[in-house]
């Protein structure tokens, strides 16, 4: 059995491809039906390191660093959901991947839904992991980062010891509602990446495209009925304090025929908290369902009927 905690960077190093003049970093391994793993904001393909190897035993796994994140380019440009979706479509085309199961975490879930909506012919299945875009509620930490002047505050935070989490841990936990463990580690690692000026600018542009002081502005709930046209799976951590699990439960009611799995002991990163369970669940979901087949006549009828 594969070691879920093995570091994929040694076996599956980042590759680079140039799309529309910008470098895009990605990891790719395995053979079989394709899985596109889409990470969340301030994260990178590294977030999937604990499930990359077990998944690549049966599938072709593609895990990119989104533009503005990780080792990909961080240009001054469009950081909307639509732009991210188009960029991933272009990556699949460039890698000669005809279709894939989309797996999106947090911001990546919103991007996966947008990609499935814009380009349904590429989407075999949709998997949403603690996904954004399903309701207004989101952590106060992210809402505050959209305020004017946050570009000046965030670099100070990354240098002022806030991310050290030693003597400040109790205060920080109380302020943002996070629990010790994976969530705190991943948020700290993500904010540490913003010490890079270009990464910080990309983060602010990305966040402001979908979140404001009142919460998430991008809301896919009015189109979730379209997700019922193919197999869909929702995975959430019961202890998620960044995006509440109620979003997953409400989406479960709105998507016809979908499957909901809640991990009772997990927070915002169930794929890192319980990687073997997550990989097994995803493998079972893919192998027990048939890929979606796009019927544009039916899609037109569904859209206009609403």
Tell me: the pLDDT tens digits for 234-278?
Answer: 999 999 989 999 999 999 998 888 999 999 999 999 999 999 999
Q: Residue 26 pLDDT > 60, yes or no?
A: yes
Residue 216's pLDDT is: 74
Q: Residue 138 pLDDT > 50, yes or no?
A: yes
Determine which one of 43, 106, 139, 266 is catalytic. 106
Residue 1's pLDDT is: 44
Catalytic residue list contains 106: yes
The pLDDT of 190-209, averaged and rounded, is 83
- Model confidence at 143, pLDDT cuts 50, 70, 90, reads low
Catalytic residue list contains 193: no
Instruction: Average the pLDDT over each of 58-67, 110-119, 139-148, 286-295 and give the range with the smallest value.
Output: 139-148
Domain parsing of the chain, residue ranges? 8-136+218-305
Determine which one of 210, 268, 271, 273 is catalytic. 268
Q: Residue 93 pLDDT > 80, yes or no?
A: yes
Q: CATH class for domain 8-136+218-305?
A: alpha beta
Determine which one of 46, 65, 240, 273 is catalytic. 240
Tell me: the pLDDT tens digits for 153-167?
Answer: 566 555 544 444 433
The pLDDT of 142-160, averaged and rounded, is 61
28 C-beta neighbours (distance < 10 Å), count: 18
Residue 139's pLDDT is: 74
Catalytic residue list contains 266: no
């Amino acid at each position: 059995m594969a070691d879920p905690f093995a570091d994929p960077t040694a076996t599956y190093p980042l590759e680079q491809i140039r799309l529309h003049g910008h470098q895009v970093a990605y990891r790719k391994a395995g053979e079989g039906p394709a899985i596109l793993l889409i990470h969340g904001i301030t994260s990178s393909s590294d977030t999937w390191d604990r499930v990359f190897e077990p998944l690549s035993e049966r599938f072709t796994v593609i895990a990119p660093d989104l533009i503005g994140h990780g080792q990909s380019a961080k240009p001054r440009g469009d950081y909307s959901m639509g732009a991210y979706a188009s960029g991933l479509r272009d990556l699949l085309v460039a890698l000669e991947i005809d279709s894939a199961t989309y797996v999106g975490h947090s911001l990546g879930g919103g991007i996966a839904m947008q990609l499935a909506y814009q380009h349904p012919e590429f989407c075999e299945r949709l998997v949403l992991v603690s996904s954004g875009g399903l309701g207004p509620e989101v952590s106060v930490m992210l809402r505050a980062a959209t305020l004017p002047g946050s570009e000046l505050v965030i670099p100070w935070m990354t240098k002022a010891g806030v991310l050290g989490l030693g003597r400040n841990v109790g205060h920080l936990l109380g302020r943002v509602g996070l629990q010790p463990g994976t969530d705190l580690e991943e948020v700290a690692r993500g904010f540490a990446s913003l010490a890079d000026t270009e990464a910080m600018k990309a983060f602010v542009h990305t966040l402001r495209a979908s979140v404001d002081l009142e919460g998430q502005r991008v809301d896919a709930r009015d189109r979730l009925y379209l997700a019922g046209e193919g197999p869909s799976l929702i995975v959430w951590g019961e202890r998620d304090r960044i995006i509440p699990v109620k979003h997953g439960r409400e989406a479960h009611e709105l998507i016809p025929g979908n499957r909901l799995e809640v991990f009772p002991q997990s927070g915002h990163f169930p794929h890192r908290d319980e990687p073997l369970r997550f990989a097994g669940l995803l493998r079972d979901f893919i192998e027990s369902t048939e890929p979606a087949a796009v019927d544009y006549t039916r899609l037109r009828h569904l859209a206009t009927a609403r």
